[in-house]
Amino acid sequence: MGTRLGELVERFGGQLVGNPNLEVQGIAPLDSADASHISFLSNSKLRALAGQSRAAALIVAPMDDTTVAATYEGTRIVTTNPYAYFARVAQYFAALDETPPAPGVHPSAVVHDSASIDPSAHIGPNVTVEAGAVVKAGAIIDAGCFVGREAEIGEETHLFANVTFHARCRIGKRGILHSGAVIGTDGFGFAKENGVYIKIPQTGRVLLGDDVDVGANTTIDRGALADTIIEDGVKLDNQIQIGHNCHIGANTAMAGCVGVAGSARIGKNCTFGGAAMVLGHLEIADNVHISSGSMVSRSVLEPGQYTGFYPLAKNAEWEKSAAIVRNLSSMREKIRTLEKQIKNLTDNAEQK
Amino acid sequence: MGTRLGELVERFGGQLVGNPNLEVQGIAPLDSADASHISFLSNSKLRALAGQSRAAALIVAPMDDTTVAATYEGTRIVTTNPYAYFARVAQYFAALDETPPAPGVHPSAVVHDSASIDPSAHIGPNVTVEAGAVVKAGAIIDAGCFVGREAEIGEETHLFANVTFHARCRIGKRGILHSGAVIGTDGFGFAKENGVYIKIPQTGRVLLGDDVDVGANTTIDRGALADTIIEDGVKLDNQIQIGHNCHIGANTAMAGCVGVAGSARIGKNCTFGGAAMVLGHLEIADNVHISSGSMVSRSVLEPGQYTGFYPLAKNAEWEKSAAIVRNLSSMREKIRTLEKQIKNLTDNAEQK
Amino acid sequence: MGTRLGELVERFGGQLVGNPNLEVQGIAPLDSADASHISFLSNSKLRALAGQSRAAALIVAPMDDTTVAATYEGTRIVTTNPYAYFARVAQYFAALDETPPAPGVHPSAVVHDSASIDPSAHIGPNVTVEAGAVVKAGAIIDAGCFVGREAEIGEETHLFANVTFHARCRIGKRGILHSGAVIGTDGFGFAKENGVYIKIPQTGRVLLGDDVDVGANTTIDRGALADTIIEDGVKLDNQIQIGHNCHIGANTAMAGCVGVAGSARIGKNCTFGGAAMVLGHLEIADNVHISSGSMVSRSVLEPGQYTGFYPLAKNAEWEKSAAIVRNLSSMREKIRTLEKQIKNLTDNAEQK
């Protein structure tokens, strides 16, 4: 039941130092791995720990290999990015443990006659697929999902249980939508007249690229007239809200509870810490990194790390500081007064 | 397949200047409209753009009409609120594109014998409607929704797929509940005894008025003993949390990710920016506007705009400022000391 | 149809002063109770109101009893924690009003042959239960829920409609999972290589203890390799996000919209106000209380109350203060300059 180290290297590359016929059953962290595991060293600070590992094999970077090899007697796979290698090996072992769901449509699912379901796709129990929807090869739609009219689910994309995917929206290949995610709900658009809101119909779509992950209970609004765009490789964690007409660039990642108001335009390769918030109609350049809990209230046009949250303190200290924050302008006035008084005193002193 | 401009004016009012028999196929923004569209000018700053529009017709305000007419040769509809007019025309065209779901109960839906479903209502696939629930004329309950015991769904109200509407709660006419919304879940109420929480049953309801919209994955708690009240015309965006026993006044609007703790009493015609938070048992007057990302930690009894979030900065600058914020009280002490020293110096100088 | 006061005392303890054969129909607050109700005094400040209550009976603490008895003529139940007593009596009356769902599996539910459903459990309409799952005695799984492979639902635990409970996760006895909650979704774990994210499979579980409540649309991530642990008696409100590999100690409570990033280790008996956020890999001791809207960006190892949010102000005042916050370091520089100038002035004055 084990996997030969030689097979791992054939699949994922790297330089094998040791016995290719040694078999491992799985992957485990340095401190819990035993003789049935391969482990990995992704942080040079843990070299000493790695040197003492009981793992049958180790994934190490070239710069750490000499140090590790001095004390570690097992087999090594030397590769430039051990953490990425770990991810691939972990995927490999996880797939061995999983039984992929059988192709076909569960009898309890309600699939409209005009929907197109690839024979290799899986449609689970209590799913609803509406007219004209397309579910492509290898896609998995778990129990309780809803796929709206003319929506399109790409090859090998997986909708976990209870996802809602609205009419005419599209997702590309190898995407993952986690449970409770809602794609293509109406954006929040109203005209006000005589104190009453009149709904502006939201007729755009959400278009998600390839390799996009959307977390549990995350919501993405469809565009008002144009579309909301999520480019390839974007990773969204749970409980995120993306407003209508947003555009999120490729390989941008957002941690849980982030909110992005409508029409924000966010670049590629950005990261957003948890609960960061972005106001509407802002522009954020490529390679911008926003710290957790920060409110982005203006466009950020230069790459870099940006932060804005109030520091935590013992409650009594917070009460003092917060009271002063409210009156900072009077504090600045006092400083200006002091500056004038000192100038007068200095001038007087010099005259004497 | 087009619609005569004369017909739009008959339906929605306004003064037509030009050819009533001209037909348009839809509505589009100034910069993308062509000869098949009607467009609109809702922002006077865009007058020049409007004057050059390729749209077959324009919706304009009286104060902009002369300027626009100087260069624009198409037909105009002159009306006091072009944005509201746009919303209505957009609704009109969107309705033409939609096929309303057929009346009746889908065979896969589970509807209790004692529930009352109007023959004109639509109950989609995999829906559950419990005992004694009432679904009124023209209501639409999409796939996967749950309607609890003795709940009531008003005329023409639309529950999008996968909404949960709990027992005994009610919503009025023309409401929209978006996917994943949960209405009438238990409030968060416990008594603590010997370090352990004892649940306080939540026996109140949620009562939503007419024309209420609730966003995707928004949650509204039922009252503990009394009811949670959402008045007519309230518009809630996605991922909002409303605690038990809250009362939200008519035509108040909240953007995404807002949280309102229990028993808050919020007035009419308020607005809350995204991710604003309101503590429990507070009172907020009519016509209060809370900026995005603000924590409302005290009652707000005067109308106006209120704000409270930490300004965003480059991370290095934030680190400096945040360190000072933590020590603002020592900074105030230094200023007081300086004031005393200067007074001493001044007094001494005067004595000489 | 009423309940004898004597029966309440037999069930829940306390000292009865008055007529044990008096019957009450329910429990109500002091100001709305009438002769058919029992009421309670949990806040000594309301003694005067209690003395005038029209309730047939009152639950009071020993320290309030003499004052109340001076004017109140009804029957009293004297007990050390009237609020907890109220909670129990309210549960008792709420249970009388409820018809528990019938044991058995609804015909529309899809339950895998290898799942084990206790005959006393209730499986509602349109539920899906996958292979090897276990649903224990007295558990209630409402409409539209999903229970994944080999998941385990403990005795008398209640899943409200549309809960998603993923494969291999477990919850103990008497738990409550509210609608839209997602337990055991994948944690947010990726390795980055050449600018592209590679998913790290999340093979741990979520293990919830006994008496755990999870609010509507709350999400709890499964562990990456190890498990996410929620100990006995934890109470989570709505819209909370708990990251992978978190450990939350017994009887900790979190209000709505809280977010906890991955691998945070939180102690017992803590409380988190609404929208508080906790960064990843932090440690929080037992008995720590975090105020609403606070960002916990460092470990908190001492018990106590901690706070960190920007104070709300009229918008014009906020704009002034926020501008100064951004420049606090220049303000500190000015104070240092003033200190030096005063030192010079003072030194000069002394030399004269």
Q: How far apart are CA C86 and CA C92, in angstroms?
A: 10
Q: How far apart are CA C44 and CA C82, in angstroms?
A: 11
Taking contacts as CB-CB distances below 8 angstroms, the residues of chain B near A307 are 312-315, 318-319
Catalytic residue among A158, A244, A281, A289: A244
Q: With pLDDT > 90 as the criterion, what percentage of chain C qualifies? A: 93
Residue B99 banded pLDDT, cuts 50, 70, 90: confident
Residues 6 or more apart from A107 whose CB is under 8 A from it?
none
Sign of the dihedral through C-alpha C279, C281, C282, C285: positive
Average pLDDT over residues A122-137: 98
pLDDT at A352: 65
Residue B197 banded pLDDT, cuts 50, 70, 90: very high
Closest to A188 (Cβ–Cβ): which among B215, B315, B332? B215
Chain C 274-313, residues with CB within 8 Å of chain A CB atoms = 277, 279, 291, 294-298, 300, 304-311, 313
Q: Are strands C265-266 and C206-208 parallel, antiparallel or unpaired?
A: unpaired
Residue B138 banded pLDDT, cuts 50, 70, 90: very high
Q: Which of B249, B41, B234, B94 is CA-nearest to residue A197?
A: B234
Chain C 207-246, residues with CB within 8 Å of chain A CB atoms = 217, 219, 221, 225, 239, 241, 243
Higher pLDDT, C345 or C189: C189
Over residues C175-202, the pLDDT tens digits come to 999 999 999 999 999 999 999 999 999 9
Count of CB atoms situated within 10 Å of the CB of A73: 8
Which residue in C has a C-alpha nearest to residue B330's C-alpha? C332
Q: How far apart are CA B295 and CA B310, in angstroms?
A: 11
Reply yes or no on whether C122 is catalytic. Answer: no
Count of CB atoms situated within 10 Å of the CB of C167: 17
Residue C8 is inside which H or E element, if any? helix C5-12
pLDDT at C352: 65
Helix, strand and coil in chain B, % to nearest 5? 20, 30, 50
pLDDT at C55: 96
CB contact under 8 A, B310 and C319: no
Count of CB atoms situated within 10 Å of the CB of C324: 18
Taking contacts as CB-CB distances below 8 angstroms, the residues of chain B near C346 are 341, 345
Mean pLDDT across chain C: 96
pLDDT at B352: 66
Interface test with C, best of B111, B114, B123, B128 (most C CBs within 10 A): B128
Least confident window among C41-45, C83-87, C287-291: C41-45
Interface test with C, best of B222, B277, B282, B287 (most C CBs within 10 A): B277
Q: How far apart are CA C266 and CA C230, in angstroms?
A: 10
Looking at residue C352, its amino acid is: K
Q: How far apart are CA A67 and CA A76, in angstroms?
A: 12
Instruction: Give the CA distances from residue B34 to residues B19, B37, B87, in Å, rounded to whole numbers and listed in that order.
Output: 17, 6, 19
Write down the number of H helices and E strands in chain B: 6, 40
Residues 6 or more apart from A5 whose CB is under 8 A from it?
A16, A18, A19, A20, A21, A22, A23, A24, A38, A57, A75, A77
Over residues B282-300, the pLDDT tens digits come to 999 999 999 999 999 999 9
* Two structure tokens written together for A236: 């969204």
Residue B97 pLDDT more than 90? no
Q: Please tell me if residue B166 touches chain C, with a CB cutoff of 8 Å.
A: yes
Q: With pLDDT > 70 as the criterion, what percentage of chain C qualifies? A: 99
Q: How far apart are CA C229 and CA B229, in angstroms?
A: 36
Q: Please tell me if residue C144 touches chain B, with a CB cutoff of 8 Å.
A: yes
pLDDT at C347: 86
> Residues, chain C, total?
352
pLDDT at A100: 87
Q: Please tell me if residue A36 touches chain B, with a CB cutoff of 8 Å.
A: no
Q: How far apart are CA A190 and CA C129, in angstroms?
A: 41
Taking contacts as CB-CB distances below 8 angstroms, the residues of chain A near C324 are 328-329, 331-332
Q: Are strands B304-307 and C313-314 parallel, antiparallel or unpaired?
A: antiparallel
Over residues B20-29, the pLDDT tens digits come to 999 999 999 9
Residue A229 pLDDT more than 70? yes
Taking contacts as CB-CB distances below 8 angstroms, the residues of chain B near C235 are 188, 190, 197
CB of B12 within 8 A of CB of B80?
no
Residue C47 is inside which H or E element, if any? helix C47-51
pLDDT at B346: 86
Chain A 167-196, residues with CB within 8 Å of chain B CB atoms = 180, 182, 185-186, 188, 190-193, 195-196
Instruction: Give the CA distances from residue A98 to residues A101, B78, C100, in Å, rounded to whole numbers and listed in that order.
Output: 9, 64, 37
Count of CB atoms situated within 10 Å of the CB of B102: 7
What angle (nearest 5°) sits at the alpha carbon of residue B331, between those of residues B325 and B336?
A: 150
Mean pLDDT across chain A: 96
Residue C134 banded pLDDT, cuts 50, 70, 90: very high
CA distance to partner chain B, nearest, from residue A134 (Å): 18
In the sheet that holds A288-290, the strands lie side by side as A104-105, A122-123, A140-141, A158-159, A176-177, A213-214, A235-236, A253-254, A271-272, A288-290, A304-307, B313-314
Chain C partners (3+ C-beta pairs within 8 A)? A, B
What angle (nearest 5°) sits at the alpha carbon of residue C94, between those of residues C93 and C97?
A: 95
Q: How far apart are CA C317 and CA B7, in angstroms?
A: 50
Taking contacts as CB-CB distances below 8 angstroms, the residues of chain A near B29 are 225
Over residues B56-93, the pLDDT tens digits come to 999 999 999 999 999 999 999 999 999 999 999 999 99
Which residue in A has a C-alpha nearest to residue B335's C-alpha? A335
CA distance to partner chain A, nearest, from residue C14 (Å): 37
What angle (nearest 5°) sits at the alpha carbon of residue B184, between those of residues C133 and B239?
A: 85
Taking contacts as CB-CB distances below 8 angstroms, the residues of chain B near A130 are 143
Count of CB atoms situated within 10 Å of the CB of C264: 21
Q: Please tell me if residue A325 touches chain B, with a CB cutoff of 8 Å.
A: yes
* Two structure tokens written together for B170: 């009610």
Q: Please tell me if residue C319 touches chain B, with a CB cutoff of 8 Å.
A: yes
List beta partners, residue C219: C182, C241
Which residue in A has a C-alpha nearest to residue B333's C-alpha? A331
ipTM: 0.96
Q: Please tell me if residue B164 touches chain C, with a CB cutoff of 8 Å.
A: yes
Which residue in B has a C-alpha nearest to residue C287's C-alpha? B195
Which residue in C has a C-alpha nearest to residue A312's C-alpha? C308
CB of B38 within 8 A of CB of B51?
no
In the sheet that holds B57-60, the strands lie side by side as B15-17, B75-78, B57-60, B37-40, B26-27
Interface test with A, best of C106, C112, C126, C186 (most A CBs within 10 A): C186
CB contact under 8 A, C179 and B162: no
Closest to C197 (Cβ–Cβ): which among A93, A215, A235? A235
CB contact under 8 A, B239 and C239: yes
CB of A282 within 8 A of CB of A265?
yes
List beta partners, residue A59: A40, A77
* Two structure tokens written together for A307: 């932060």
DSSP state of B49: H
Q: How far apart are CA C192 and CA C196, in angstroms?
A: 6
Q: Are strands A75-78 and A15-17 parallel, antiparallel or unpaired?
A: antiparallel
Q: How far apart are CA C90 and CA C73, in angstroms?
A: 23
CB contact under 8 A, C108 and A106: no
pLDDT at A171: 98
Q: Are strands C116-117 and B283-284 parallel, antiparallel or unpaired?
A: unpaired
Residue C251 pLDDT more than 90? yes
Instruction: Note the pTM of the prediction, 2 decimals.
Output: 0.97
Place of tokens 């004209």: A132
Q: How far apart are CA B275 and CA A274, in angstroms?
A: 13
Q: How far apart are CA B18 and CA A109, in angstroms?
A: 54
Residues 6 or more apart from C154 whose CB is under 8 A from it?
C136, C139, C170, C171, C172, C173, C174, C175, C210
Q: How far apart are CA A210 and CA A173, in angstroms?
A: 5
pLDDT at C156: 98
Residue C91 is inside which H or E element, if any? helix C82-97
Q: How far apart are CA A145 and CA A193, in angstroms?
A: 38
Chain A partners (3+ C-beta pairs within 8 A)? B, C
Q: Which of A62, A103, A99, A98 is CA-nearest to residue A81?
A: A62
Q: How far apart are CA A217 and CA A233, in angstroms?
A: 19
| Through-space distance between the first and last CA atoms of chain A, rounded to whole angstroms | 96
Chain B partners (3+ C-beta pairs within 8 A)? A, C
Q: How far apart are CA C30 and CA B266, in angstroms?
A: 24
Q: How many contacts (CB atoms, under 8 Å) link A and B? A: 223
Q: Which of B288, B311, B312, B310 is CA-nearest to residue B298?
A: B288
Taking contacts as CB-CB distances below 8 angstroms, the residues of chain C near B277 are 257, 274-275, 292-293
Taking contacts as CB-CB distances below 8 angstroms, the residues of chain B near C144 are 126, 128, 144, 146, 162, 164
CA distance to partner chain B, nearest, from residue A343 (Å): 11
**Exposed/middle/buried for C265, CB within 10 Å: 0-12, 13-18, 19+?**
middle
CB of A76 within 8 A of CB of A65?
yes
pLDDT at C98: 85
pLDDT at A98: 85
Over residues A8-53, the pLDDT tens digits come to 999 999 999 999 999 999 999 998 999 999 999 999 999 999 999 9
Q: Please tell me if residue B349 touches chain A, with a CB cutoff of 8 Å.
A: yes
Residue B328 pLDDT more than 70? yes
Catalytic residue among B37, B158, B178, B244: B244
Count of CB atoms situated within 10 Å of the CB of A118: 15
Which residue in B has a C-alpha nearest to residue C294's C-alpha? B295
Q: What is the torsion angle, in degrees rounded to the nearest 10, for the CA atoms of residue C329, residue A324, residue C337 and residue C323? A: 40
3-class DSSP state for residue C64? Answer: helix
